[in-house]
């Protein structure tokens, strides 16, 4: 039997042509059941047209009936000798290739995946099918499957540069940076003039902290494509990480010249100006980013932090609500509504902690204000804070996170309370103390003879904090302070940095209290017996301030918004004194000034 193309049919049947057109339209519109019925009618009307078998089988496959589709193809292929079988199989594969590619390019990735799998079943050594199948599953988020298909494609065709590139991207998305870099390097061996690959490899190096390698990649990429604004932006972030702020700013500005409406570049430029404490230029950059993209979450978030740092609390706390739109801090899905600040005399409100220990300690001060408006106040917090927060008289009940909550009517995150209650710098609640140690004290300190000042110290915070590298320092920086005559020192340090005590030698004994500090109630008991706390920006400093104890806070050059700038006191804690870095990373100067201040106190004690 000789199967004829439609143009060679010995008759013209317009109904047959109409059927084919209708069937093709249904297949293109993903109406598979209709397509199956129409193509079956086409074959019944004229069983000699091969293309209808290919399309009918395809409709079956896309409908999820792979066996029916394969049977349909086979019925047409086996009608002939060996040469005809090969010819028809090749024709089928060409049809499937075209259909798969069309769907891949139009974003119909699941359909493309199904078709490429059929191509591979017909032709197991089809390298292009494996690579495109990798693209189809990659775009569905199936990264491990994508890797397997790409690698099989490379086994069949090891000189295909673009597949090395695709593999690098997949591994980079998985944060498997060594593998990503290796595949970028293989791609660049075959295609050395790819600015895009150099830029991506630079980002992989930068994520590893290999700034020199990252900068070299970015600079080479810009040599190849000096008009790429994205690479200038990436180079700027790497230079900033090296502390080269002026060079970083120049890169961001050049990126903006090339792409004036790039909101990301304006936001990054704002961050660099913030590092220089050039607040006016920083906020102008954020404003421009938001003007370009009003829904740009990071720019709105960064502007909120800057407004808070300069003391514009009314606007700052309003914009601080942008945190809920960040991927890292989604709002909790309570059924109860967010409290709007209205009076609920017989109602119950749940105030829930949302960030670190220090944030909870700082903002629990709002509980008494909330209690004036809502009849019953419940607080949910991290377990180490539960006992301590029971000392706030306005709170009826404190529950630990991850435990069953009692019934309540409305809820509010602790750090939303300043916005809900309309806090300004002038109306900030600073009635100190608002926390108290539990009685009897759970820890009792031993005081060496001839001690005139008992000083607690903390030199490091939680290493998982995103800015811990800047805010924490080494115990060695405290060496001169710890030799202050007449002062006894107590380590309130917790966590991995306690290990520094074993390597530290000092003429004055330093008492390690870490084994006695089981929660913040214990820490409060210790602080109550001390005269002064010297601490980096961590929860112990907040606790000392909330207890009304003198606390000297050691601040990095680029510090958190709550400590504002250009002042040595804090509106949040009247008993706090701030010692700021004048240069980034310079803890020696900070501790020199702290030591001098402590000497003045002890000298005065001795003179008395």
For 527-560, write each residue's pLDDT tens digit: 999 999 999 999 999 999 999 999 999 999 989 9
pLDDT digits (tens, 9 = 90+) for 131-184: 999 999 999 999 999 999 999 999 999 999 999 999 999 999 999 999 999 999
Task: Check residues 92 and 267 and name the one with the higher pLDDT.
Answer: 267
Mean pLDDT throughout 473-495?
Answer: 93
What average pLDDT does this structure show over 194-216? 96
The class level of CATH for 453-607 reads alpha beta
pLDDT at 3 over 70: no
Q: What is the mean pLDDT of the chain?
A: 90
pLDDT of residue 256: 95
**Is the pLDDT at 320 greater than 90, yes or no?**
yes
Band (5; pLDDT cuts 50, 70, 90): very low
Q: What is the mean pLDDT of residues 386-397?
A: 96
pLDDT, one tens digit per residue, over 555-593 is 999 899 999 999 999 999 999 999 999 998 899 999 999
Q: Does the pLDDT of residue 8 top 50, yes or no? A: no
Name which CATH class applies to 261-325.
mainly alpha
Please tell me which of 23-27, 97-101, 325-329 the model is most confident about, judged by mean pLDDT.
325-329
Contact (Cβ atoms closer than 8 angstroms) between residue 461 and residue 501: no
How far is residue 5 from each of residues 47, 52, 253, measured CA to CA in Å? 11, 10, 62
Enter the pTM of the model: 0.78
Residue 506 has pLDDT above 80, yes or no: no
390 phi/psi in degrees, rounded to 5: -70, -10
pLDDT attached to residue 13 = 54
Rounded to whole angstroms, how far apart are CA atoms 326 and 212?
Answer: 30
pLDDT at 448: 83
- For the chain, domain boundaries: 261-325, 344-420, 453-607
Q: Ranked by mean pLDDT, which of 3-7, 190-194, 274-278 comes out on top?
A: 190-194
Contact status, residue 124 vs residue 150, Cβ threshold 8 Å: no
Give the whole-angstrom CA distance, residue 26 versus residue 37. 10
**Residue 554: its H or E element:** strand 551-555
220-229 average pLDDT score = 96
pLDDT of residue 11: 37
Q: Is the pLDDT of residue 464 over 60?
A: yes
**Nearest residue to 352 via CA among 314, 385, 304, 307:** 385
pLDDT at 262 over 60: yes
Query: In this structure, are residues 541 and 533 in contact, taking their beta carbons and an 8 Å threshold?
Result: yes
Percent of the chain with pLDDT over 90: 67
The pLDDT of residue 466 is 83
pLDDT tens digits for range 9-41: 333 455 777 777 887 888 888 887 888 888 788
Q: Give me the half-sphere count of Cα atoms (radius 13 Å) on the Cβ side of residue 7.
A: 0
Instruction: List pLDDT tens digits, range 66-80.
Output: 888 788 778 778 776
Please say if the pLDDT value at position 501 is more than 70.
yes
pLDDT computed for residue 228 by the predictor: 94
Please check the confidence at residue 279 and state whether its pLDDT lies above 90. yes
pLDDT value of residue 574? 97
């Amino acid at each position: 039997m000789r199967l004829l193309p439609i143009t060679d049919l010995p008759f013209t049947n317009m109904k047959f042509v109409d059927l084919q057109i209708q069937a093709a339209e249904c297949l293109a519109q993903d109406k598979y059941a209709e397509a199956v019925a129409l193509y079956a009618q086409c074959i019944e009307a004229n069983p000699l047209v091969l293309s209808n078998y290919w399309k009918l089988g395809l409709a079956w496959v896309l409908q999820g009936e792979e066996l029916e589709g394969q049977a349909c193809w086979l019925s047409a292929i086996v009608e002939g000798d060996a040469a005809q079988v090969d010819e028809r199989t090749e024709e089928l594969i060409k049809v499937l290739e075209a259909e798969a590619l069309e769907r891949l390019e139009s974003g119909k990735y699941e359909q493309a995946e199904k078709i490429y799998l059929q191509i591979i079943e017909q032709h197991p050594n089809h390298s292009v099918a494996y690579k495109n199948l990798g693209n189809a599953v990659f775009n569905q988020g199936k990264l491990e499957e994508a890797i397997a298909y790409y690698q099989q494609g490379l086994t069949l065709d090891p000189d295909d540069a673009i597949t090395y590139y695709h593999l690098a991207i997949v591994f980079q998305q998985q944060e498997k940076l060594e593998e990503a870099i290796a595949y970028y390097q293989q791609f660049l061996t075959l295609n050395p003039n790819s600015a895009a690959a150099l830029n991506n490899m630079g980002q992989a190096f930068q994520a590893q902290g290999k700034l020199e390698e990252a900068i070299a990649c970015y600079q080479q990429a810009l040599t190849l494509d000096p008009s790429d604004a994205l690479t200038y932006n990436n180079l700027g972030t790497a230079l900033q990480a090296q502390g080269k702020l002026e060079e970083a700013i120049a890169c961001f500005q050049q990126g903006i010249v090339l792409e004036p409406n790039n909101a990301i570049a304006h936001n990054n430029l704002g961050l660099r100006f913030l590092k220089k404490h050039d607040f006016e230029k920083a906020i102008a950059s954020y404003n421009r980013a938001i003007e370009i993209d009003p829904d740009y979450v990071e720019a709105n978030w960064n502007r909120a932090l800057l407004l808070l740092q300069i003391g514009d609390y009314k606007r700052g706390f309003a914009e601080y609500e942008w945190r809920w739109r960040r991927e890292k801090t989604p709002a909790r899905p309570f059924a109860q509504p967010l409290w709007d600040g209205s009076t609920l005399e017989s109602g119950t409100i749940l105030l829930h902690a949302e960030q670190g220990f220090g944030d909870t300690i700082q903002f629990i001060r709002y509980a008494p204000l909330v209690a004036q408006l809502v009849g019953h106040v419940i607080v949910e917090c991290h377990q180490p804070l539960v006992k301590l927060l029971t000392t706030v008289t306005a709170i009826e009940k404190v529950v630990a996170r991850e435990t069953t909550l009692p019934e309540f009517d409305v809820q509010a995150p602790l750090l939303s309370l300043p916005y809900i209650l309309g806090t300004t710098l002038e109306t900030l609640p600073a009635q100190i103390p608002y926390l108290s140690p539990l009685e009897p004290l759970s820890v009792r300190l031993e005081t060496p003879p001839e001690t005139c000042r008992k000083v607690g110290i903390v030199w490091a915070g939680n290493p998982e904090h995103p800015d811990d590298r800047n805010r924490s320092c080494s115990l060695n920086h405290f060496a001169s302070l710890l030799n202050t005559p007449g002062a006894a020192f107590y380590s309130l340090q917790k966590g991995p940095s306690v290990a520094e005590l074993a390597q530290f030698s000092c003429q004055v004994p330093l008492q390690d209290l870490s084994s006695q500090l089981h929660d913040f109630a214990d820490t409060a008991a210790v602080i109550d017996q001390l005269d002064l706390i010297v601490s980096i920006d961590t929860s112990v400093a907040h606790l000392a301030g909330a207890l009304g104890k003198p606390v000297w806070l050691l601040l990095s050059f680029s510090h958190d918004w709550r400590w504002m700038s250009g002042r040595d006191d804090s509106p949040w804690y009247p008993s706090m004194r701030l010692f700021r870095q004048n240069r980034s990373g310079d803890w020696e100067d900070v501790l020199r000034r702290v030591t001098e201040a402590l000497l003045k106190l002890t000298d005065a004690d001795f003179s008395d």
